[in-house]
Structure 1
């Protein structure tokens, strides 16, 4: 199967942490960045798709190194809203102890969806 190449062309802005000129965009091949293009540069080989990114900002995925997916289901529960930390924990520990595998799976899906919507592509739980 031939490789899928996508050119994210001429973004409005792009962040590179290494000082590379990427104003011409990025070329992705099978989900990996294979070329960083400076202003006015063209991809070295044809691309299957070209995405006009002139109205888009390209950022690397954000990383969340500390999360509690299971708490997603209880964070807005009325009995604990606005409580200080230790009363909050005392109230919630018994609730969390009764979470079933199905509830944990649901909490994980919700937490991951929220993280992706906020730009987070990597998380540790």
Structure 2
């Protein structure tokens, strides 16, 4: 029986929140602050612990930074800031776990 890792569960939550953010932005609204649990990206158990390396840390830090910019920006640049956040996810997944990339791309605002 498959047991989901802490990181997989966290990333599913991140996906759901970013999907909500996309809807808010398309309505012209600014998303709320970053959920506190997102900082767990630094500590959540991975399916393969060896994936937590310097690159992963860098991508994680960058994701949190770009996400924070979405919640503190003016409405004019919301789509760009949101897409920067989503592209940070895609960039990380290109290095380790490529499977979710098509799903993640659906979060981009075109």
| TM-score, with length taken from structure 1 | 0.25
Question: Highest Rg: 1 or 2?
Answer: 1
Structure number with higher strand proportion: 1
Query: Which is bigger in relative contact order (C-alpha 8 A, separation at least 6)?
Result: 2
Structure number with higher helix proportion: 2
